RNA sequence: GGGCCCGUGGCCAAGCCAGGAUAAAGGCGUCGGCCUUCGGAGCCGGAGAACCUGGGUUCAAAUCCCAGCGGGCCCGCCA
């Protein structure tokens, strides 16, 4: 029984005590600010005092005397401190319970009972005309950690990546290659995705300035949407080449998918047509007959409270040239996610991924895909898309999404570059003075994920080699790769999703302090102790912990499920990072002060503590996609 | 014009949604210690904070409410 269970148990006891005293209510149970005050506390006496005009200190006394403390197993002491009711566990009993639970549950330690839900997570969503950059990587890492967390807790999770192959970005590249004969072969030594990003940056500007080119682009989009023609086939092959590169990058970062949903297939499957017709027949979509948007199919938002204050609330679903907008397609796609549409995607197997899972892709000559919708559809998108996502949510309600089915845009802030990094990347000296510089594909201010990996890897490799001169090259490279990937992943989910990450190369190549390599190093240290002890421990009947280092570490291990519970309720991933770091900090303090292997052999209770630590940290690593290394 | 987010030591940042304990984590940087016992990517200690400002609610506000200020973003027949 860990902290989560004990907190719940104490809450129930307090509630029962309240009831016996003739009060109703639910006690809040929290952690005291400092361990000296106890393991758990409730300020419920203050709530009663306010409600019933009592003195909080006296109320606390009455509650304590009504508590059936003897029935509370691991509890050692209850006291009233200025109205706070503080509970203290018997440290030995609690330690034995926590460690035994970890040692017996192992890979399942941290799980708690949940009602399993069907969850769909969409992430990455990079246009198929450029390489993944640190911004899309934040998106992908967040999505990947969400998927790992929710799977760990027992939910049925499917991970999808939306390939926007029918928008104007890809059309710009098709115009450049197919009609303007820009070579399709990248220059020697350049990846295809990076090359296409450069071609896009060059041509999008030209096209924007030239009416004839804009007309051609519109025709290209129309042809791509229509399908069954040479341009559309060319576009699909082009996009597939880019997506293959993007997948390779993602896989390198241990990010995997179940299904790629191509935007053109939202159209060809009839899902888009279904959504538009449904909105029309429900009176939510109409053809604009005058003004700026003449000839467009619009969704009616002007009467909706949350959109009513906008200058022009209604949104375009289908352009006057007959092509679909992003919002229009996204509404249809979202309806599919929740199983609202009777139309199906056709899919086929595309790759066997390095993690062993098959990757499906939608394709016109595939087989009908049997998916009847998620209970919860999470879309990981950056904050700039909050407004269109609101439109999607509104449209889903109008399409009859039942209240128990949830569409959740998971909004996170973007990654910007520090002035220094932007300056070094572009060679533009003026940028150096800026606190941050937003990335821009068109301006060529982009830090690509592969370049980031290379930069971090170089630093990690040197460091690993220096510390392990006797290890062979293959080992050093493998360990360096894992450390680099973990370091980058950790840096992208440890920050609150509402905060902009100002990416800086100096900071990214740091391997000390609040970094994944620190966590992995700590884990490896623990593994060495287990190895050197040369005895295993799988359960414990007694312990003689008496140092603050031992007890803090036990408490932190016991809090694992409590943290995961909070993470699953709030979907805040940074709290898992904070937890892991505290866990590592506590282990390292313990390591300094409490020898495990002594002259008389290993102390079994401490050995059990070390093993419980590796189990807990190991499970946290699984959830966050950090490789468990026994040696670094 | 409307809307969203952020503002905590020199820098980054946890805590804020579910208000509590006159001790507000941690990291970087800085100053000083620790490698003859399990790995120094570590540990121990020091200095460093008007929790943006002003009101309000409350027994209690970094946390909730209101008004400002500063920074970022969104409101396109782009995505």
Question: CA A394 – C1' B29 distance (Å)?
Answer: 49
Instruction: Determine the Cα–Cα distance for residues A479 and A632; give it in Å rounded to an integer.
Output: 6
Please write the tens of the pLDDT for every residue from A334-344. Answer: 999 999 999 99
Chain A 550-579 contacts with nucleic strand B (CB below 7 A) = 566, 569-570, 572, 574-575, 578
Nearest nucleotide to A170 (CA to C1') is: B79
Residue A75 pLDDT grade (very low, low, confident, very high; cuts 50, 70, 90) = confident
Distances (CA, A) of A614 to A24, A465, A629: 43, 25, 11
Q: Is residue A1 pLDDT above 70, yes or no?
A: no
Residue A558 pLDDT grade (very low, low, confident, very high; cuts 50, 70, 90) = very high
Nearest one of A440, A609, A620 to A526, comparing CA atoms: A609
Diameter of chain A measured on Cα atoms: 90
The CATH number of A96-102+109-114+512-624, from 2.60.40.1110, 2.120.10.30, 2.30.110.10, 1.10.730.10, is 1.10.730.10
Nearest nucleotide to A127 (CA to C1') is: B79
Please write the tens of the pLDDT for every residue from A10-43. Answer: 999 999 998 888 887 788 888 898 888 889 999 9
Share of chain A above pLDDT 90, in %: 84
Fold of A3-89: Gyrase A; domain 2 (3.30.1360)
Residue A209 confidence (pLDDT): 86
Chain A 16-35 contacts with nucleic strand B (CB below 7 A) = 28, 30, 32-34
C-alpha dihedral sign at A39, A93, A110, A574: positive
Judge whether residue A469 contacts strand B, using its CB and a 7 Å cut-off.
no
Q: What are the boundaries of each domain within chain A? A: 3-89, 96-102+109-114+512-624, 418-482
Q: Are strands A156-163 and A259-262 parallel, antiparallel or unpaired?
A: parallel
Buried b (16+ CB within 10 A) or exposed e, A298-322: bbbbeebeebeeeeebbbbbbbeee
Going edge to edge, which strands form the sheet with A40-42? A40-42, A84-89, A75-81
Instruction: Determine the Cα–Cα distance for residues A597 and A602; give it in Å rounded to an integer.
Output: 4
Nearest one of A442, A441, A443, A449 to A431, comparing CA atoms: A443
Contact A121, A160 (CB under 8 A): yes
Question: CA A436 – C1' B71 distance (Å)?
Answer: 11
Please write the tens of the pLDDT for every residue from A196-234. Answer: 999 999 998 889 888 899 999 999 999 999 999 999 999
Question: CA A414 – C1' B1 distance (Å)?
Answer: 26
Q: Say which residues have a Cβ less than 8 Å from residue A428's Cβ, sequence separation at least 6.
A: A422
Judge whether residue A320 contacts strand B, using its CB and a 7 Å cut-off.
yes
Grouping H, G, I as helix, E, B as strand and the rest as coil, residue A343 is coil
Q: Count the neighbouring beta carbons within 10 Å of the beta carbon of residue A73.
A: 13
Question: CA A378 – C1' B17 distance (Å)?
Answer: 19
Q: Are strands A297-299 and A601-602 parallel, antiparallel or unpaired?
A: unpaired
Q: Count the neighbouring beta carbons within 10 Å of the beta carbon of residue A332.
A: 30
Judge whether residue A209 contacts strand B, using its CB and a 7 Å cut-off.
no
Judge whether residue A49 contacts strand B, using its CB and a 7 Å cut-off.
yes
Residue A76 confidence (pLDDT): 87
Question: CA A268 – C1' B65 distance (Å)?
Answer: 51
CA A491 to chain centre: 12
Residue A24 confidence (pLDDT): 78
Helix A3-20 to helix A548-558 angle, to the nearest 10 degrees?
A: 80
Helix A91-105 to helix A548-558 angle, to the nearest 10 degrees?
A: 50
Chain A 602-631 contacts with nucleic strand B (CB below 7 A) = 630-631
Residue A599 confidence (pLDDT): 82
Please write the tens of the pLDDT for every residue from A416-468. Answer: 999 999 999 999 999 999 999 999 988 889 999 999 999 999 999 999 999 99
CB neighbour class for A110 (10 Å; exposed up to 12, middle 13-18, buried from 19): buried
Nearest one of A271, A410, A381 to A337, comparing CA atoms: A271
- Helix spans in A317-385 (H): 326-337
Residue A36 confidence (pLDDT): 83
The interface pTM score, or ipTM, of the predicted complex is 0.96
């Amino acid at each position: 029984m860990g902290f989560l269970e004990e907190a719940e148990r104490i809450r129930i006891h307090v509630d029962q005590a309240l009831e016996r005293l003739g009060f109703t209510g639910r006690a809040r149970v929290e952690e005291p600010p400092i361990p000296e005050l106890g393991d758990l506390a409730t300020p419920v006496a203050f709530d009663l005092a306010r409600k019933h005009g009592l003195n909080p200190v006296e109320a606390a006394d009455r509650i304590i005397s009504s508590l059936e403390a003897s029935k509370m197993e691991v509890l050692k002491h209850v006291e009233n401190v200025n109205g706070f009711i503080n509970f203290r566990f018997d440290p030995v009993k609690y330690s034995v319970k926590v460690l035994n639970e970890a040692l017996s549950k192992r890979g399942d330690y941290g799980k708690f009972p949940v009602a399993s839900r069907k969850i769909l997570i969409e992430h990455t969503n990079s246009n198929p005309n450029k390489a993944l950059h640190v911004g899309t990587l934040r998106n992908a890492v967040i999505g990947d950690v969400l998927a790992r967390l929710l799977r760990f807790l027992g939910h049925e999770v499917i991970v999808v990546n939306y390939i926007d192959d029918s928008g104007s970005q890809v059309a710009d590249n098709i115009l450049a290659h197919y009609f303007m004969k820009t070579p399709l072969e990248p220059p020697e030594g350049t990846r295809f995705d990076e090359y296409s990003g450069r071609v896009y940056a060059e041509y999008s500007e030209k096209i924007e300035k030239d009416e004839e080119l804009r007309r051609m682009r519109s025709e290209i989009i129309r042809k791509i949407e229509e399908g069954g023609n040479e341009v559309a086939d060319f576009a699909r092959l082009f996009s597939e080449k880019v997506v293959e590169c993007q997948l390779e990058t993602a896989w390198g970062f241990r990010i995997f998918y179940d299904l790629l949903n191509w935007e053109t297939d939202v159209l060809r499957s009839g899902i888009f047509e279904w959504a538009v017709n449904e909105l029309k027949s429900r009176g939510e979509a109409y053809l604009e007959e005058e003004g700026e948007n003449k000839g467009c199919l619009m969704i009616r938002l002007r009467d909706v409270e949350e959109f009513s204050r906008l200058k022009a609330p209604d949104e375009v679903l289908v352009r006057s040239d007959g092509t679909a907008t992003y919002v229009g397609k996204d509404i249809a796609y979202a309806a599919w996610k929740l199983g609202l549409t009777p139309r199906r995607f056709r899919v086929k197997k595309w790759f066997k991924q390095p993690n062993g899972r098959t990757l499906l892709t939608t394709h016109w000559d595939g087989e009908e895909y049997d998916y009847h919708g998620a209970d919860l559809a999470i879309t990981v998108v950056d904050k700039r898309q909050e407004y269109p996502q609101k439109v999607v949510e509104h449209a889903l309600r109008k399409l009859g999404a039942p209240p128990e089915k949830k569409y959740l845009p998971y909004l996170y802030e973007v990654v910007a570059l520090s002035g220094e990094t932007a300056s070094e990347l572009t060679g533009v000296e003026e940028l150096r003075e800026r606190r941050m510089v937003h990335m821009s594909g068109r301006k060529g201010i982009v830090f690509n994920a592969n370049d980031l990996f290379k930069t971090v890897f170089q630093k990690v490799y040197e460091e690993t080699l220096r510390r392990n001169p006797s290890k062979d090259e293959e080992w050093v490279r493998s360990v360096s790769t894992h450390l680099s990937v973990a370091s980058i992943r950790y840096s992208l989910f440890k920050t609150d999703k509402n905060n902009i990450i100002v990416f800086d190369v100096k900071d990214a190549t740091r391997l000390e302090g609040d970094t994944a390599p620190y966590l992995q190093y700590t884990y490896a240290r623990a593994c060495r102790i287990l190895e050197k002890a040369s005895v295993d421990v799988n359960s414990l009947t007694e312990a003689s912990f008496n140092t603050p280092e031992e007890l803090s570490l036990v408490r932190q291990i016991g809090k694992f499920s409590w943290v995961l519970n909070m993470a699953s309720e709030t979907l805040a991933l940074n709290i898992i990072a904070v937890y892991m770091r505290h866990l590592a900090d506590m282990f390292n303090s313990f390591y300094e002060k409490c020898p495990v292997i002594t002259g008389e052999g290993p102390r079994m209770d401490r050995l059990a503590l070390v093993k419980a630590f590796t189990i807990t940290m190991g499970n946290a690593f699984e959830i966050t996609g950090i490789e468990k290394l026994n040696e670094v």
